[in-house]
């Protein structure tokens, strides 16, 4: 019986990796130096994941975050005014967006898992990129709401599907750092969106407009070039569509079909995940890598002698070469499934039911909703909040968007630091508590400081954003670490995606009526919600401590055979 959130003995490879050593495994003395071979193969494999797969997935999430937040940047340049809409229509559209986005999260995650991330996500991205461009022609309230609902439906499930896909390739205590890099793109998107908006708004006029409107429509402006917000939607929508098309060719369906791996690396990329999910010790992992090396060498020799030998190397990773002292490893890995453990598709009814019936996910969901309100709110509303930082400043749209970049940059850097700490210490909840502490400190400063102290209020926003992006990805890391079944993991992450209900609450909180007061009321409500989340995570920690104690008390009298049976089958019982 495995302890909840139990740390294993895996060592985290540093990132980025060192230069690859050009060494042929057949020239190594594998029996005498299996540890060196394992580390060598691990470095090569993880380095390619870090520099080829992870950056592209991070780019996808960056574009996803930009497409969610660009409407806030466009509003600072008068999007609703030019389109003949009221500011309240923007809040209605955002509320509709998050309502559909949240409701369809498990559905999107299930479809992404069923059909495979490598084809599902690029297809959805192509369509929502087109929808982003269509914002240029919005002239009615229903048009804006319909477009946001379409984008929400296409984006629903993107995050859980992509995170589940990413978790297929990394071991448990490599994962948080990579997830930090991936999830940190939401903060990078805030910073990049601010800089991009500043650049666009500085070089395009705020008045004359683009496409001609039919007679009777409310014209946005006179004849002339395109408006700045139109150019913003066009650039971001086209970029999303182009990158999505590349994704069809870039993303592998599994490690053993990855175009960037050699044959040895494909085999090891699969095997290292099997070993990690089975809690294999370092010594056992070393023996497995030696068996892998022998298999590679023998298969290459056999192929040279007989080209008609069709036996695949990865079907013989643990052929009977180990001595009696590796009997435990043989029992763990006696059968190696022909199906890839890193396959990006496949879902069963049991996966769905076991995820829905897990009480822990519902506890974490409530905490996630409450703690995510600042991140989701400021992803859209931070430029507007900064614009109202102090009435005496009279910031232009370009200036307010540029000033929104540093707080998001702080958020990205702090998240990456906390993710490294979490992986190296094998802890999830303690970094979450520290991140929420930063968030609470920033919120308290923002609430207490008068609007005349705009410099200190801006600093408090930087502190606030520094702690806003930590709880959510580390919660996801905890879920993936404790859910070895990929299908169930995808559904759990989809349910956890309901945490985006925070976006609905933020759209209802940060209304135009609060602009004159510098959004003090929304900040106070957000502070109360984050405090409640902090208490909820403490309760979750107590729950885990009690459950682990109960499991320890239950297994204390078990024999080694019973413990091993429980680890393998999950069905051991006491007499």
Give the tens place of pLDDT for each residue, 225-268: 688 889 989 999 999 999 999 999 999 999 988 999 988 889 88
Distance CA 415, CA 5 (A): 20
Tell me the pLDDT tens digit for each residue of 27-73.
Answer: 445 444 556 777 888 889 999 999 999 999 999 998 988 887 788 78
Q: Residue 434 has what pLDDT? A: 94
- Please count the other Cβ atoms lying within 10 Å of the Cβ belonging to residue 340: 19
Distance CA 50, CA 48 (A): 5
Region at 218 (left for phi over 0; alpha for psi -120 to 50; beta for the rest): beta
pLDDT-derived band at 432, boundaries 50, 70, 90: very high
pLDDT-derived band at 537, boundaries 50, 70, 90: very high
pLDDT higher than 90, residue 129: yes
Distance CA 484, CA 555 (A): 21
Q: Residue 2 has what pLDDT? A: 46
Q: Residue 121 has what pLDDT? A: 92
Q: What angle do CA 353, 553, 360 make, to 5 degrees?
A: 30
For a pLDDT cut of 70, what percent of the chain falls above it?
76
Tell me the pLDDT tens digit for each residue of 454-468.
Answer: 888 889 888 988 988
pLDDT-derived band at 185, boundaries 50, 70, 90: confident
- C-beta of residue 370 within 8 angstroms of C-beta of residue 526: no
Closest CA to 186 of 166, 158, 167, 164: 158
Could you identify the residue written with the tokens 């509709």? 96
């Amino acid at each position: 019986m495995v302890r909840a959130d139990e740390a294993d003995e895996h060592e985290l490879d540093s990132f980025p990796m060192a230069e690859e050593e050009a060494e042929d495994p057949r020239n190594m003395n594998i029996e005498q130096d299996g540890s060196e071979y394992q580390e060598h193969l691990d470095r090569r494999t993880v380095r390619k994941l870090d520099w080829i797969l992870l950056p592209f997935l991070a780019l996808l999430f960056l574009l996803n975050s930009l497409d969610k937040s660009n409407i806030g940047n466009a509003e600072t340049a008068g999007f609703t005014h030019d389109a003949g809409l009221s500011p309240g229509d923007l809040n209605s559209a955002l509320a509709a967006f998050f309502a559909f986005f949240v409701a369809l999260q498990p559905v999107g995650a299930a479809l992404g898992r069923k059909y495979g991330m490598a084809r599902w996500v690029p297809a959805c991205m192509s369509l929502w990129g087109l929808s982003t461009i269509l914002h240029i022609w919005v002239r009615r309230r229903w048009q804006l709401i319909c477009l946001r609902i379409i984008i929400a439906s296409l984006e629903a499930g993107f995050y859980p599907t992509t995170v589940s896909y990413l978790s297929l390739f990394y071991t448990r205590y490599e994962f948080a750092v990579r997830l930090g890099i991936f999830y940190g793109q939401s903060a990078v998107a805030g910073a990049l969106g601010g800089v991009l908006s500043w650049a666009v708004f500085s070089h395009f006029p705020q008045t004359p407009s683009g496409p001609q409107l039919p007679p009777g429509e409310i014209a946005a402006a006179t004849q002339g070039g395109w408006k700045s917000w139109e150019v913003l939607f066009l650039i971001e929508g086209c970029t999303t569509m182009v990158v999505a098309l590349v994704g069809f060719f870039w993303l592998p369906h599994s490690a053993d079909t990855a175009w960037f791996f050699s044959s040895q690396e494909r085999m090891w990329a699969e095997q290292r995940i099997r070993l990690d999910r089975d809690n294999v010790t370092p010594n056992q992992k070393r023996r497995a890598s030696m068996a892998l090396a022998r298999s590679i060498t023998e298969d290459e020799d056999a192929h040279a002698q007989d080209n008609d030998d069709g036996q695949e190397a990865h079907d013989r990773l643990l052929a009977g070469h180990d001595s009696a002292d590796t009997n435990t490893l043989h029992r763990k890995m006696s059968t190696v499934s022909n199906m890839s453990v890193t396959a990006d598709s496949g879902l069963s009814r049991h996966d769905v039911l076991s995820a829905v019936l897990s009480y822990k996910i519902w506890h974490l969901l409530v905490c996630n909703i409450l703690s995510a309100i600042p991140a989701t709110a400021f992803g859209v509303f931070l430029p507007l909040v900064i614009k109202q930082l102090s009435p005496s400043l009279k910031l232009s749209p370009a200036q307010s968007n540029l000033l929104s970049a540093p707080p998001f940059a702080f958020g990205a850097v702090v998240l990456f630091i906390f993710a490294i700490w979490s992986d190296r210490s094998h802890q999830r909840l303690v970094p979450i508590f520290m991140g929420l502490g930063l968030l609470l400190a920033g919120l308290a400063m923002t609430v207490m400081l008068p609007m005349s102290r705009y410099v200190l209020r801006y600093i408090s926003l930087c502190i606030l954003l520094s702690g806003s992006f930590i709880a959510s990805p580390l919660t996801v890391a905890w879920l993936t670490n404790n859910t070895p079944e990929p299908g169930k993991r995808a559904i759990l992450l989809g349910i956890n995606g309901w945490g985006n209900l925070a976006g609905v609450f933020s759209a209802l909180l940060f209304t135009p009526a609060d602009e004159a007061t510098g959004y003090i009321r929304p900040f106070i409500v957000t502070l109360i919600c984050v405090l409640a989340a902090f208490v909820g995570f403490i309760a979750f920690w107590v729950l885990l401590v009690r459950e682990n104690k109960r499991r320890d008390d239950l297994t204390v009298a078990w024999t080694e055979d019973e413990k091993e049976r429980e680890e393998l089958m999950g069905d051991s019982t006491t007499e």
